[in-house]
Amino acid sequence: MAHLNWTPDLETGIREIDGQHKRIVEYINQLYDARTSHDRAGVGAVIDEAVDYTLSHFAFEEALMVDAGYMYSGPHKKVHELFTRKVGDYRLRFEAGEDVADELHAMLSRWLFNHIRNDDKSYADAVKVYMKNRGQSEGSVKDQIKEELIRELHLKKKRGFFARLFGGSE
């Protein structure tokens, strides 16, 4: 398996979400590059950044789904949790000295596109209707979610977290 390529069928039609998904694809491709260069420190750094960014994305996505009243928000969160646990296990194995890069790269590649196509695309309509009904521009929905996440995170790691999700405008 080589680099992942973004294809139009992965678009949810929600600009912010699509942008975040593309960033995750970039991280997975960075992991591919780091593993082919046999750079252990590089692999560790990419795993950390990829996990960090993906968790931020999950928080954003979950806030958006809940606000939109999407009926399967609960099960969707569960899927995110299971994935987070699975990646955490890889991180532990890596720290214990195991070479997990190939296996992790393959798992991430499979998981992400499957998840976007089957789970993320399912909430897209509800979110788009919600945005339209509120008569809000995407920008104001973004601001609203940002406020909610600030409350939820109790300002913890705020700068890094929002810089990652909102393109460094923090």
Which single residue brings its beta carbon nearest to Fe ion?
120
Of 11 and 39, nearer to Fe ion (C-beta) is: 11
Of 77 and 93, nearer to Fe ion (C-beta) is: 77
Q: How many residues bind Fe ion (CB under 5 A)?
A: 2
Q: How far is the CB of 15 from Fe ion (least distance, A)?
A: 13
Residue 128 φ then ψ, to 5°:
-70, -40
Of 42 and 111, nearer to Fe ion (C-beta) is: 111
Contact letters (x/-) for Fe ion, 60-89, by CB under 5 A?
Answer: -x----------------------------
Contact letters (x/-) for Fe ion, 110-149, by CB under 5 A?
Answer: ----------x-----------------------------
Q: How far is the CB of 21 from Fe ion (least distance, A)?
A: 6
Listed in sequence order, the DSSP H helices in the chain are 15-36, 40-67, 73-95, 101-115, 121-133, 138-153, 158-165
Of 16 and 120, nearer to Fe ion (C-beta) is: 120
Among residues 83, 108, 111, the alpha carbon closest in space to that of 30 is found at 108
Distances (CA, A) of 78 to 27, 72, 73, 107: 23, 10, 9, 18
- Which positions ≥6 away from 58 have C-beta within 8 Å? 80, 84
What one-character DSSP code corresponds to residue 116? I
97 CA to centre of own chain: 26
Residues at the site binding Fe ion, with contacts judged by CB under 5 A: 61, 120
